[in-house]
């Protein structure tokens, strides 16, 4: 299966960002992709944290979800819809949700970001907990016979989340992200390759990649990694499409030659 990671440099304007997403999805479909992933916050990179609250949608309804559904249906492919803000019971909190749409346009899965990013190095200060409500459950789904595990950005630093999705093992892990340039330069590729190697599966990581109108610079380097930790394709910065082939035979080969997943100690495996 050909898969595609889409890289954006999103703005504070939802309509503009949706237009960019439509165009990139069409490019990926024209290239033959059957599954595409958008980055975290593909629909909005606001001027302030609270901008997410103003555009947050009711689960199952709203222009962002409608665009993803229509694009999946019109191109006949799977879309991992990066993230979008969904309403909670509080006007001061939203969920950062990754919604997956099947080729018929129906919602196939939804994962709410569990780990909320906080970082302060004296120059940059981020705290997603100011406006976001954390999710609570790992989520996987089946696509064309493949088991796919969902995660979002900062989740990447918590390997126990990925282990929780590996019974049975996933074939693909998705990590839509908006890594800061500082943390991305230090850890992005390192962590993605580690998650691929330790779980012996492919990783697709669509990212924000450039300088945004709010002054934030995201790291980009959207990439696809194979089960041996090899980077198959990558785009450093700027809007674009990254494609690679997910080969189930490669997964089987790696797991046969080095059956590490079968060597896990039962007492450390969550029920």
Set 43, 57, 128, 153: catalytic member: 153
Longest dimension (CA), the chain: 52
Distances (CA, A) of 205 to 33, 87, 124: 15, 25, 23
123, two tokens: 């120059």
Q: What is the rounded distance in angstroms from the CA atom of residue 183 to the CA atom of residue 195?
A: 17
**What are the DSSP E strand ranges found in 172-262?**
172-174, 202-205, 222-225, 231-235, 240-245
Question: Do the Cβ atoms of 72 and 102 come closer than 8 Å?
Answer: yes
Active site residue 153: yes
Whether 239 is catalytic: no
The catalytic residue among 34, 52, 57, 113 is: 113
Spatial neighbors of 264 by CB under 8 A, at least 6 apart, are none
What the block records as the tokens of 182 is 């500082």
The catalytic residue among 34, 40, 52, 237 is 40
What is the rounded CA–CA span in Å between residue 240 and residue 94? 28
Query: Is 113 in the active site?
Result: yes
> What H or E segment, with its residue span, contains residue 111?
strand 107-112
Residues known to be catalytic: 40, 113, 153
């Amino acid at each position: 299966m050909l898969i595609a990671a889409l890289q954006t440099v999103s703005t504070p304007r939802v309509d503009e960002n949706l237009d960019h997403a439509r165009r990139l999805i069409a490019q990926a479909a024209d290239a033959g992709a059957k599954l595409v992933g958008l980055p975290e916050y593909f629909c909005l990179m606001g001027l302030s944290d609270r901008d997410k609250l103003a555009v947050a949608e009711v689960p199952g309804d709203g222009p962002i979800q409608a665009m993803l559904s229509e694009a999946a249906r019109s191109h006949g492919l799977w879309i991992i819809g990066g993230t979008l803000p969904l309403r909670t019971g509080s006007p001061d909190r939203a969920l950062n949700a990754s919604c997956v749409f099947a080729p018929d346009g129906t919602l196939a899965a939804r994962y709410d970001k569990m780990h909320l990013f906080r970082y302060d190095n004296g120059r940059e200060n981020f705290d997603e907990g100011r406006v976001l409500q954390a999710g609570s459950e790992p989520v996987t789904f089946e696509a064309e016979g493949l088991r796919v595990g969902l995660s979002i950005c900062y989740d990447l630093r918590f390997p126990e989340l990925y282990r929780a999705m590996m019974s049975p093992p996933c074939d693909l892990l998705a990590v839509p992200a908006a890594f800061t340039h500082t943390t991305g330069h230090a850890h992005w590729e390192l962590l993605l390759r580690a998650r691929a190697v330790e779980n012996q599966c492919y990783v697709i990581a669509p990212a924000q990649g450039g300088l945004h109108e709010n002054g934030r610079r995201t790291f980009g380097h959207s990439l696809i990694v194979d089960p041996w930790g090899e980077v198959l394709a990558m785009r450093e910065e700027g809007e674009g499409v990254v494609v690679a082939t997910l080969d189930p035979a490669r997964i089987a080969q790696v797991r046969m030659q080095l059956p590490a997943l079968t060597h896990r100690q039962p007492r450390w495996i969550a029920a």
